[in-house]
Amino acid sequence: MSKRFLSLFASLLVLGFATPLRAAEVQVAVAANFTAPMQKIAADFEKATGHQAKLAFGATGKFYAQIKNGAPFEMLLAADDETPAKLENEGLAVSGSRFTYSIGQLALWSAKPGYVDARGEVLKQGAFDHLAIANPKLAPYGAAAVESLTRLGLLGSVEGKFVQGENIAQTYQFVSTGNAELGFVALSQIVENGKIKSGSAWIVPPGLHSPIRQDAVVLTRGKDNPAAAALVKFLKSDAARTVIKSYGYAL
């Protein structure tokens, strides 16, 4: 063994001891709409506790199927409150560990500046070919969009113009590439530091649809993982809540 190898080995040993011994890793499945805030929170979490959160982003329904079939996730940050409850009932999540980590806000958005007015009147004029929504059967934001349109009495007139994304990230993509003139997205996708990043938007009043409650739950595999417990605590902290709010979630 060469000297270089020995010194590499030695430095690895030192590194190994330098991190706190109790530092652990937690595998987290995160709803696609929560991608941006969670990346920030995970970095803060590691700084504050030394624990590492390994994140996977995707559709809640897909995560459910994967968890049922033995995926190695220890925590789920869902896009709804039904999936975590279902997992708990099926014995796949630690009972009593469920909590609401954020409440999503729906926005009608266009990539074109000035296209969507501050009151959403553009929907009534109907001068567009495509209105993008997330698949209401799969995505809570899509269901909320349909509920709001129903409440506004506009569902019948715009339904024929729906183009559906499989999740809210794809819906955003349809609008941002200009293929759909406008669409219902998560406010968190278009907001940065409390301001709309680009284009024009109408924040749909929360009274028009039932709240998009996003629940987190510790999965059975994460039951005895100290990093999972620490992440739960961290998500409930003021520091994390400030980050969550700055990305356009109500809480």
Partner 1 sequence: MLSDTDWSAIRLTFELASITTLLLLVIGTPIAWWLARTRSAWKGAIGAVVALPIVLPPTVIGFYLLVAMGPNGPVGQLTQSLGLGVLPFTFAGLVVASVFYSLPFVVQPIQNAFEAIGERPLEVAATLRASPFDTFYSVVLPLARPGYLTATVLGFAHTVGEFGVVLMIGGNIPDKTRVVSVQIYDHVEAMEYAQAHWLAAGMVAFSFLILLALYTLNPTGRRT
Handedness of CA 177, 183, 188, 192 (dihedral sign): positive
| Site mask for partner 1 (CB under 8 A), range 70-109, x = bound | ----------------------------------------
Among 180, 185, 212, 216, binds partner 1 (CB under 8 A): 180
Q: How far apart are CA 78 and CA 66, in angstroms?
A: 13
Q: Indicate whether 132 belongs to the interface with partner 1 (CB under 8 A).
A: yes
Strands 191-192 and 195-196: antiparallel
The span of 8-16, 19-27, 149-157, 169-177 binding partner 1 (CB under 8 A) equals: 169-177
Q: How far is the CB of 235 from partner 1 (least distance, A)?
A: 26
Cα 92 from Cα 155, distance rounded (Å): 37
Using rule CB under 8 A, residue 65 touches partner 1:
yes
Residue 138 CB, nearest approach to partner 1 (Å): 5
Compute the distance between CA of residue 161 and CA of residue 130 in angstroms, rounded to an integer: 5
- 8-18: burial string, b at 16+ Cβ within 10 Å, e else: eeeeeeeeeee
137 binds partner 1 (CB under 8 A): yes
Instruction: Give the residues lining the site for partner 1 (CB under 8 A).
Output: 59, 61-62, 64-65, 129-130, 132, 135, 137-138, 162-166, 170, 173-174, 177-180
